[in-house]
Amino acid sequence: MEDNKKSYFGEIGSAMKTLAVGMKTTLVEYFTPKSTEQYPENRKTTLHISARHRGRLVFTRDENENYKCVGCTLCEKACPNDSIKILTEMVEDPETGKKKRKLVDYQYDLGDCMFCELCVNACNFGAIHFTNDFENAVFDREKLVLHLDKEVYKGGSLPNLIDGGAPMEIGKFNTKTK
Q: Over the Cα atoms of the chain, what is R_g?
A: 27
- 166 three-class SS: coil
pLDDT score recorded for residue 108? 96
Which residues are within 8 A (CB) of 110 and not within 5 positions of it... i.e. 6 or more apart? Answer: 56, 57, 83, 136, 144, 145, 146
Report mean pLDDT in 10-residue bins for the chain, 178 residues.
71 94 93 76 76 88 91 95 95 87 94 94 94 89 94 78 64 51
10 Å CB burial of residue 120 (0-12, 13-18, 19+) is: middle
The helix (H) or strand (E) run that includes residue 58 is strand 56-59
- The pTM assigned to this predicted structure is 0.69
pLDDT score recorded for residue 177? 46
